[in-house]
Structure 1
Amino acid sequence: MIVDNALYREGVRVPVDCEISDLSAVRERCGPEDFVWVGLHEPEQSELDAVAEVFDLHTLAVEDAVKAHQRPKLERYGDSLFLILKTLWYVDEEDAVETGEINMFVGSDFVITVRHGEGGALHQARLALEDREQVLVHGPSAVVYAVCDQVVDAYERVVESLQEDVDEVEISVFSEERTNDAARIYVLRRELAEVRRAVMPLREPVNRFTTGVVRGVDPEAGPYFRDVGDHLARVSETVDSLDSLLSTAFDAHLAQITVRQNDDMRRISAMIGLIAAPALIGAIYGMNFVHMPELEWVFGYPMALMLMALTSLTVWIISKRSGWL
């Protein structure tokens, strides 16, 4: 559906006396220096076809915007640009990174944003941009900046949440408690891969916006995109660092398992020794040969019991001093 449809002139939103769904009426009021920003959320094919007819959007770009699930990219269709960004948000209870998508059609006098998924609502970005007239005067380029800035800020929040979870994993791996962290490490690495798939392809378009080589994006807006690029680079570096930490934590976890298994084997060996020595004495004593001197000795039975206890105590002392028990 159409969430908003606004006309902007010289950095200010211009009131229009028509419904936001009346795309043609709003665009007809657009002057030479004005532009229109239409926001849609999970539109039907028919809705997007109507928008495409009014703004002369390319068929292939419209098809991508309807289907969603595309990788971040920047493409040119005639005089307009088509930009795809992945939106991310974090569900802490499940250690899961959820994804959405924003598709942007950018022309000389219009910007159309098509949003898919729960995250990435652009209402706040629109309000913040309308309060910054000095940015909004850059026209459609200002909208591209505002949307990219909001998306990358969300990336930073997701990475901060992942950082907390990685810290928890490190504490758990090196704790004295017996923990099974392999499954959580795998989940976190998978979520980091999801973040990387959103971040890495976006760096090239943002760098191009920064240098002002993209026709249709105001070169004077380059410093704003440079700030977005810096944040994006920081997110990328943090993702690589967290992935490396998880790899190290997984190796340490496997090493801890090996050490614990060796400790268990030592304990088992010590317990076998505690049982084996008395069993050996009992087996010999139980042979009951006629010529065994202990059979007719009054203290033979107590001596056998004392010998069993003494051998078990000796094995226990040796095992304790060796750290096996």
Structure 2
Amino acid sequence: MPSHSPSARDLVLDCAVYVDGARLDDTGDFAQAYQRVRATGRGFVWLGLHSPTAARMASVARVFNLHSLVVEDLVDAHQRPKLELYDGTVFLVLRSMHYVDHAAVDKANDIVSSGEIMVLAGPDFVITVRHGNHTQLGGVRAALESRPEALAFGPVAVLHAVADHVVDSYQRVAIDMADDVDELEEHVFASSTTDLDIDVVYMFKREILELHRAVAPLAVPLAWLSGAAGPGSTLRAELPGAFGEKEIRRHFRDVADHLTAAVDMIDGYDERLTTLLNAAATKVGIQQNTDMRKISSWAAIAVVPTAIAGIYGMNFEHMPELAWRWSYPAVLLLLLLICTTLWVVLHKNRWL
């Protein structure tokens, strides 16, 4: 199996002809490989590409007679997860997600990174296109080649294996995020309000939403592939070729079940983060109210000396006790007594 650097661009990662589930000798050229399949009427071609250019896809389109809209989507790396049909050819777009390791939740910039995997499955060919540095499918191809009975189903087996691989990665990412959400929950509820960083919660919320946008849209395509598309599905066509076989539908139903489990986990995280945001906002609001009560209390205490000093600071000649020898210490003692009384009362009522 040829190996390629994950950072390579516009490469034919692998190309082979498969007959009855067995890999034949590589021809080294996808045009020759497909010509061989069409001439014999047996087997299919599996072509793997990584970040192809428009020129590369134009040459592939001429060989496999691809629709221009499919070619455009295969080159563009910013497609939403979807499934489309083109004259018996199934085109599936998947968003691959990768968990980004980090030392602590409050020091992470990203939790997940994304890429794209596109699968175009026709009657006698399958084209897989990868965009991103963590979308390797070498393990999927090797696993299928070790199971000729699965590859004997043809291109539909490849599409199922890729979909199963991507959906399983969603579950792994969701499981890896469980500890992060627990740690974030502990951080929010254990931290004092002055140490609370709500930006971390918002960052996690953003990452969860990105993961949800990659996972949730696959529910309808997988339901259609499993033969159980609901009334809300926009796919009204019959399952083409081998896609309509009962065993294939069962396998896609299993992938759909795994997807549902992943969606449930992600939705649970989203609800917990929403609760954390509300809790953090509540903590901040309570702390602000407490601060305002303290400020108001000290302001009330400060009003007394301010008022008395303001009165005796007036330049009037005839004012009470101005000529008394002990008037100054008496006023100071009165101020201290009033302020102390106010402090005791406010402290008893938990304003201070």
Whole-angstrom CA distance in 2 between matches of 1:119 and 1:43: 16
Q: Tell me the residue number matched to 2:298.
A: 271
CA 1:308–1:148: 2 relative to 1, 3 Å? same
Paired letter, 2:67 = H
CA 1:24–1:286: 2 relative to 1, 3 Å? closer
Q: Tell me the residue number matched to 1:209.
A: 225
Deviation, 1:112, is 0.6
Q: Tell me the residue number matched to 1:314.
A: 341
CA 1:33–1:223: 2 relative to 1, 3 Å? farther
User: 1:169, 1:181 within 8 Å by CA — same for their partners in 2?
Assistant: no
Tell me, what secondary structure is at the counterpart of 1:296? Answer: coil
CA 1:201–1:296: 2 relative to 1, 3 Å? closer
Q: Tell me the residue number matched to 2:329.
A: 302
Q: Which residue, out of 61, 66, 73, partners 1:64? A: 73
Q: Which residue, out of 34, 43, 50, partners 2:52? A: 43
**Greater alpha carbon shift after TM alignment, 55-64 vs 302-311:** 302-311
Stretches of structure 1 that go unaligned for 5 or more consecutive residues are none
Aligned pairs (5 A) from 1:251-262: 251-262=278-289
Question: What is the percentage of aligned positions where both structures have the same residue?
Answer: 40
CA 1:308–1:176: 2 relative to 1, 3 Å? farther
CA 1:8–1:296: 2 relative to 1, 3 Å? same
**Greater alpha carbon shift after TM alignment, 245-254 vs 157-166:** 157-166
Whole-angstrom CA distance in 1 between matches of 2:351 and 2:146: 70
User: 1:5, 1:36 within 8 Å by CA — same for their partners in 2?
Assistant: yes
CA 1:162–1:295: 2 relative to 1, 3 Å? farther
CA 1:291–1:260: 2 relative to 1, 3 Å? closer
User: 1:35, 1:111 within 8 Å by CA — same for their partners in 2?
Assistant: yes
Q: Tell me the residue number matched to 1:23.
A: 30
Q: Which residue, out of 237, 262, 273, partners 1:235? A: 262
**Greater alpha carbon shift after TM alignment, 35-44 vs 210-219:** 210-219
Whole-angstrom CA distance in 1 between matches of 2:109 and 2:155: 38
Whole-angstrom CA distance in 2 between matches of 1:76 and 1:54: 19
Deviation track 1:101-122 (CA, whole Å, cap 9, x = no partner) reads 2221112221111111223221
Q: Tell me the residue number matched to 1:135.
A: 150
**Greater alpha carbon shift after TM alignment, 244-253 vs 158-167:** 158-167
Deviation, 1:324, is 2.0
- Aligned CA RMSD, in angstroms, stands at 2.6
Q: Which residue, out of 140, 147, 150, partners 2:162? A: 147
Deviation, 1:254, is 2.3
Deviation, 1:97, is 3.7
Whole-angstrom CA distance in 2 between matches of 1:72 and 1:302: 82
Whole-angstrom CA distance in 2 between matches of 1:310 and 1:132: 91
Deviation, 1:2, is 0.4
CA 1:95–1:163: 2 relative to 1, 3 Å? farther
Tell me, what secondary structure is at the counterpart of 1:232? Answer: helix
Stretches of structure 2 that go unaligned for 5 or more consecutive residues are 1-10, 103-107, 229-237
CA 1:204–1:296: 2 relative to 1, 3 Å? closer
Tell me, what secondary structure is at the counterpart of 1:50? Answer: helix
- Count how many residue pairs are aligned between Structure 1 and Structure 2: 321
Tell me, what secondary structure is at the counterpart of 1:292? Answer: coil
User: 1:87, 1:100 within 8 Å by CA — same for their partners in 2?
Assistant: yes
Normalising by structure 1, report the TM-score. 0.87
Tell me, what secondary structure is at the counterpart of 1:95? Answer: coil
Whole-angstrom CA distance in 2 between matches of 1:196 and 1:209: 21
CA 1:140–1:311: 2 relative to 1, 3 Å? same
Deviation, 1:230, is 1.0
Deviation, 1:267, is 0.6
